Amino acid sequence: MNELTVLQRIAVWILPVIFAITVHEVAHGWVAKKYGDNTASLLGRLTLNPIKHVDLFGTIIIPGLLLITGTGFIFGWAKPVPVDARNFKNPRRDMAIVALAGPISNVLMAIGWALVARVGVSIHAQTEAIALPLIYTGIAGISINLVLALINLLPIPPLDGSRVLTGILPDYWAWQYNRLERFGFVILLVLLYTKALNMLLAYPMFIAQQAFFSIAGLN
């Protein structure tokens, strides 16, 4: 997408980013409700209205800076949907399932955006003016959702992957492991700043993108 202007890149990425971040959080709350926790529902967070989920830093500033600087690596986050594990019958197991709901929603959205891109590919010869926005937006949707799914599966507290690992570890080790949560954001920033995050995710991202680009008819 380097051939696009900054304004064109913003137009292409804005909807995929907002939906990827918003639906990810709603998925956590929706699954939590299915397992007995109505906290998110009672607070009005089971809505696709992005205003309810926007985090100024994570939803606007970080994705915006990454987009404008053309790093090729875009991610962000919304305000976490509140979940009270005390309402679950099996707190550790159910919390792990709730955590997985976020990345799974991103994978499903990536499939949806791949189909949007495929529509663009199929009509490209007839109407390029409509096809190109569909293709570019589909590529953006695939990319942001795969990035969010992969990042959130990292076992760094409080990312979703850490909740899954907590559900597997023995009680004592789970408690010790979750003490790292206060350093989680700093760890993530260091990985991003040193480009270690790019190197860590580059290969799985490449493999996943190739699979979804195949669905989109872009390979």
Phi then psi dihedrals of residue 128, to 5 deg: -65, -30
Cβ-based burial of 40 (10 A; exposed 0-12, middle 13-18, buried ≥19): buried
- Please give the DSSP secondary-structure letter assigned to residue 58: I
Q: Contact at 8 Å (CB) between 50 and 104?
A: no
- The secondary structure element, H or E, covering residue 67 is helix 62-68
Question: How far apart (Å, rounded) are the C-alpha atoms in residues 18 and 134?
Answer: 17
Q: Contact at 8 Å (CB) between 126 and 154?
A: no
Q: Give me the active site residues, please.
A: 25
